[in-house]
Amino acid sequence: MRKGAPVGTRSPWLTFLLRRAIGLVGVLVTLVVVTFLMIQLIPGDPARRVAGSDATPARIAEVRSELGLDQPLFVQFGDYVSGLLRGDLGTSFATSRPVADLLGDRLPFTAELALLAIVVVLLVAVPLGMAIAVACRAGRRRSLDTAFTSATALAGAVPEYVLGTLLILVFALGLGVLPSSGAATLSALLLPVIAVSVGPICTLARIVRRETASVLTQDFMRTARGRRLPALRLYARHALPNLLTSTLTLGGLILTGLLGGTVVVEYVFQWPGLGSAAVGAIVARDYPVMQGIVLLLGLLAAVLNLLVDVVLGLLDPRTLNAKAGQ
């Protein structure tokens, strides 16, 4: 008769998912509070800023009523939360459109850019870091290792908007081979993806190089090399799974930061996503749109972190116990 699990014990996955669900709820509550306070913490009178400097007192009072600023703070917060529960993010001051509809139109463009950039980062950074570590193992080719470290540090330090501007100058205005803005063709994705991806590629590739160098010194790798296994099988089957756990742990933070870079790059390339909408909302003092974008981007970052943790759990179930204890 096979013995079952001890009474009272929980599945590591159940404990992990419960804790992550609680954490996600906590993040969402924090985002709701922060986005609500955005208007309250703006210096001066938000109603006057929305109405404009030339607005009459009557118009300012009307705008204050539209914003609900004439109500007690707890009433304003209750109205804000009840609206969110109904899927109502408010109405744009600039376009008079529901914010939810505006974000729904913009989100697919941001998701397309961000997801493609994530794929590019993983497909380039992981093989690049592994290749450098393998080529330079045991102190070999120190000049290559130094060149790799210097080049990735230099390229990774360039801000996305600076890199995006340089790409436009070279490939759009100089060579004329790629469009500089818009989303009319697939080729318009190329320069924004490069601008978003270069920094994360450099950072993640250095992490992968370090982790691969550590894995290559382990006894099981020496044994595998002694069996004269083909290089692809040796590194893809034996080295890669053992470095992914630590790499993805830090890589999750890098990929989350990539969302912020996407917002900046969208404005540089006039990509019709959340980033350009956010800049337009700031310029127009369109507070409901600003609140909706911050709330949505924060939620996307939290979900991305959750997905990275789930992938880690699938690759190495031991991480579930470690995370459950956090």
The whole-number pLDDT of residue 148 equals: 92
Mean pLDDT over 59-65 rounds to 80
Residue 125 lies in a domain: yes
CB-CB contact of 156 with 129 (8 Å): no
Q: Say if CB 211 and CB 246 are below 8 A apart.
A: yes
Please report whether residue 86 resides in a domain.
no
151 falls within a domain: yes
Q: Is residue 266 part of a domain?
A: yes
In a domain, 157, yes or no: yes
Backbone angles phi, psi at 91, to 5 degrees: -120, 135
CA dist 139 and 304 (Å) reads 37
φ/ψ (deg, to 5) at 98:
-60, 135
Integer Cα distance of 126 and 208 in angstroms: 6
3-state secondary structure of 95: coil
Q: Looking at the predicted structure, is the pLDDT value of residue 311 above 50?
A: yes
Q: Which residue has the tokens 């300012």?
A: 60
pLDDT single digits (tens) 227-251:
776 666 677 776 777 777 777 777 7
Rounded CA separation 181/273 (Å):
12
How far is CA 83 from each of CA 74, 78, 80, 100, 289, rounded to the nearest angstrom? Answer: 14, 8, 5, 11, 14
For the chain, what is the domain count? 1
Q: Which residues of 196-231 are buried (b: 16+ CB within 10 A; e: fewer)?
A: bbbbbbbbbbbbbbebbbebbeeeebeebeeeeeee
Give domain status of residue 220, yes or no: yes
Which percentage of the chain shows pLDDT scores above 70?
A: 87
Write the CA distances from 247 to 6, 72, 155, 206, 317, integer angstroms: 34, 49, 20, 10, 15
User: DSSP secondary structure string, 162-193?
Assistant: HHHHHHIIIIIIIS--S-SS-SSSGGGGHHHH
Contact 309, 20 (CB under 8 A): yes
Structure confidence by residue, pLDDT tens digits, 116-136 = 988 898 889 988 988 898 888
Per-residue pLDDT band at 5 (split at 50, 70, 90):
very low
In a domain, 52, yes or no: no
Reported pTM: 0.77
Q: Residue 65: inside a domain, yes or no?
A: no
Per-residue model confidence as pLDDT tens digits over 77-90: 888 888 888 888 88
- Tens digits of residue pLDDT in 258-292: 777 888 888 888 888 888 888 888 887 788 888 89
**Encoded amino acid at 303, one letter:** V
Structural domain boundaries enclosing 133 = 105-312
Query: What are the counts of helices (DSSP H) followed by strands (DSSP E) for the chain?
Result: 14, 0
Reported as a single tens digit per residue, the pLDDT across 161-213 is 899 999 999 998 888 888 888 777 788 889 999 999 998 899 889 988 888 88
Q: Indicate which CATH number applies to the domain containing 269.
A: 1.10.3720.10
pLDDT value for 128: 92
Residue 286: per-residue pLDDT: 82
